[in-house]
Structure 1
């Protein structure tokens, strides 16, 4: 076996479980932490397989320019023909919900009606243009549910944007989106590895919109209300035997956009229509839900990376 598995990221709390699985499988890997970095464009990259876990919420951890540095790194790797999982196209969708929605729509996948705006006055104008009785705001470059607020009137939005509570997205773009009312307070998150469906998770939304499944979020991330739940009602629950035509559309969407690893979230309205509203290309998994179901995303991912490393070592 030649080379290593290089994991590109900016949050050590989200890579510990993957590294554990790589070690269990005896696979060589290198932790490529990207914040303040150097890429010598005159040199060739190392041999191996590269997997990017760059996050849209990196700026909340003091890593404001990590996505931009990762974009430079991925351009370098791809130019030299290195095998890259979740490369530059995946990163583009990770850091922009506008790009996500346009790509989803191009693949024939329904998304909520959305208007993008820059500036407080335009945020209010966007809500007027949307014309929905209830709507939510969210950051274009987000993660961790950043900027997500529910409103039932233009007046409430105007009061909010003029208050200290309002904060711009790091890229200056706020989205105003129709609120999809589900008959029950839950959404569904579908996990994909190698571009193929692995399992679906039912996520209880009765406590709010921030739905990060990572174990680290449950303990330390105040943006993510995934704390202890009553035994009879876990926040995250793997759905046994989930089968819906949306899966085929999601897999085609991932193929079209060269995304190998993702968690895609959708909600059903009262009529049963599916609205897809988020694509997470640095997806995490909930340990308790996986243990109960006997399915392990990071093990599947580590196995995939190991197989690809072997293929990369075989002479063409």
Structure 2
């Protein structure tokens, strides 16, 4: 029987989708690739395959899950299976360098970025920012982990030579110009089926770990400091958001066969938009969605159901 296969390495980020698939009575199976194998001489099962592999898998002890997923996706594609967010998408998910080059190709402005391997090279790269603020981040990361803000090369030197320096899993450290938002927020645009769904405003005043998944927000939700009910929500849907950047984003998604993604941008003091992340393993914040009445995982489940139905019709013909 044809079914929906959900490829992932983190059940906490998958249960919201499987709950919606069950709600819609859609047949599915989880395929957890935190470990496993693929027999290249065998035939893949029938169905559609949705990859939710994450660049941050190594932070959950699943360092090589993307490599195994790459093998599985190539195998599926070789056999002509319907793969949603396939091999090309995974390449982009695990490399911000590739993301920025692809965005620039379609006329989308990204922050000045330099990639470096080696501590001496990182310091050399920092000199190219001419004394202005800059941040470091990992090329293969996720959730904003490893992002650090620096005001000087001396501060960077103390960091990379100290015990708190985080070695990127792929060895590549990115140095990037710091874009200062006058109101300390970024915007994340969500796309399903390659089309815009909604935009969410994310408060960055408390740092850069911006994963919207409920599992990532547990510490904030249980914080005992002050009355949490009186604080504005970190994630808020920007009702009625409409901007020419959406059309550009959709062109990038179409060119790279990206069906489901969240794209993040920040606006500087002059209102100029800088795009800095394509997240192809997108998550949604339940509190923000409940307030707006829009539900990302429900729409993802509906989209997967539609793709499964197309496959059934094609097989019958």
Aligned to 1:276: 275
Match of 1:115, SS? strand
Q: Displacement, 1:44?
A: 1.2
Aligned to 2:154: 155
Match of 2:50, SS? strand
- Asked if the contact 2:35/2:65 (under 8 Å) is kept, the reply is yes
Match of 2:201, SS? strand
1:114 correspondence with 2:113? yes
Q: Displacement, 1:131?
A: 2.7
Aligned to 1:299: 298
Aligned to 2:61: 62
Distance 1:44 1:131 in 2: 56
TM-score, structure 2 normalization: 0.96
Q: Displacement, 1:232?
A: 4.9
Distance 2:168 2:139 in 1: 6
What are the ranges of 5 or more consecutive residues in structure 1 without an aligned counterpart? none
Q: 1:230/1:157 Cα in 2 relative to 1: closer, same or farther (>3 Å)?
A: farther
For the aligned residue pairs, the C-alpha RMSD in angstroms reads 1.2
| Aligned pairs (5 A) from 1:132-281 | 133-219=132-218, 229-281=228-280
Q: Displacement, 1:282?
A: 0.2
Match of 2:62, SS? coil
TM-score, structure 1 normalization: 0.96
- Asked if the contact 2:145/2:208 (under 8 Å) is kept, the reply is no
Aligned to 1:105: 104
Deviation sequence 1:36-64 (CA, Å, 0-9, x none): 21111111111101000000010111111
Q: 1:200/1:19 Cα in 2 relative to 1: closer, same or farther (>3 Å)?
A: same
| Aligned pairs (5 A) from 1:47-58 | 47-58=46-57
Q: How many matched pairs?
A: 311
- Asked if the contact 1:203/1:235 (under 8 Å) is kept, the reply is yes
Q: Displacement, 1:231?
A: 3.8
Aligned to 2:124: 125
Distance 1:15 1:35 in 2: 13
